[in-house]
């Protein structure tokens, strides 16, 4: 990213930590209208590339439920990314906190994006009305089919994420998959894994924390991936990955 876009991105994330419902700008999903974070603090997964640790100089506290945010008016007709700054579905997040967030979101006529590297936890809450009413899109991150323990750290392995997403899709729930930051992969394997998730959309993004070096694929390899994915789903290439598109 150039300097101006980095500044916008930093200010947007800083704003999302301290304020409630925020207009989606900077390096967020282009199809999202707003972001909000009811649950805040250091993410259990602790991935090496996490922008929350590198894009600005703050010390993240322990995970916590910000009860003031539960009073936020979420409006109507929005598509809101809930939990954009930390994984609110990680294993250290109490189920009661998640339930309170879902209850609040369900009070408003919006669509919601819930994204997690531990999509197995989605299965705990499928009886909630927000899912029965089709208000939610369930998304997981699949940076690669490979396991890079020094990078992914405490996150579940890619195979575990795929298994949970495949079960969600088989039950008829709308699923997305985000390949960001996309790391080097094995084409046939990752295509098979993504197909198993039956995603309505696959989002492709690049590492935004450029001071952290990741094993990235080259442009031709990403183009081949996009071509294969386009045969069975919608592919959305984020603006930060335009060099590949």
pLDDT (tens digit per residue) in 164-213: 999 999 999 999 999 999 999 999 999 999 999 999 999 999 998 988 99
- Could you read off the pLDDT of 105-147 as tens digits, one per residue? 999 999 999 999 999 999 999 999 999 999 999 999 999 999 9
Determine if the peptide bond prior to 181 is cis (ω within 30°): yes
Burial group, residue 47, by CB count within 10 angstroms (0-12, 13-18, 19+):
buried
User: How confident is residue 245, by pLDDT bands cut at 50, 70 and 90?
Assistant: confident
> What average pLDDT does the structure give for the chain?
91
pLDDT score of 57 more than 60 = no
Other Cβ atoms within 10 Å of 201 Cβ, number:
18
Name the CA dihedral angle for 105, 109, 84, 176, rounded to a multiple of 10 degrees: 110
Taking the whole predicted model, whether its pTM rises above 0.85 is answered as yes
Q: Which CATH number is 3-241 given?
A: 3.80.30.10
> Could you give the CA distance from residue 89 to residue 114 in angstroms, rounded to a whole number?
9
pLDDT score of 26 more than 60 = yes
């Amino acid at each position: 990213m150039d300097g101006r876009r980095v500044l916008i991105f930093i200010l947007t994330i800083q704003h999302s930590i301290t304020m409630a419902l925020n207009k989606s700008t900077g390096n967020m999903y282009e199809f999202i209208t707003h972001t909000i974070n009811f649950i805040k603090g250091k993410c259990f997964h602790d991935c090496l590339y996490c922008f929350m640790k590198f894009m600005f100089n703050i010390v993240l506290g322990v995970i916590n439920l910000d009860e003031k945010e539960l009073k936020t008016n979420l409006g109507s007709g929005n598509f809101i990314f809930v939990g954009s700054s930390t994984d609110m579905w990680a294993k250290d997040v109490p189920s009661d906190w998640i339930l309170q967030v879902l209850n609040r979101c369900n009070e408003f006529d919006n669509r919601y994006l819930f994204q997690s590297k531990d999509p197995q936890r989605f299965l705990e809450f499928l009886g909630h009305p927000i899912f029965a009413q089709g208000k939610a899109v369930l998304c997981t991150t699949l940076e690669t089919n490979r396991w890079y323990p020094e990078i992914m750290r405490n996150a579940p392995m890619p195979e575990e994420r795929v298994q949970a997403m495949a079960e969600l899709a088989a039950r008829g729930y709308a699923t997305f998959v985000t390949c960001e930051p996309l790391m080097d992969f094995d084409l046939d394997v990752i295509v098979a894994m993504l197909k198993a998730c039956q995603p309505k959309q696959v989002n492709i993004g690049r590492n935004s924390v450029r001071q952290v070096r990741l094993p990235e694929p080259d442009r031709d390899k990403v183009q081949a991936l996009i071509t294969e994915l386009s045969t069975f789903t919608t592919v959305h290439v984020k603006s930060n990955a335009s060099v590949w598109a």
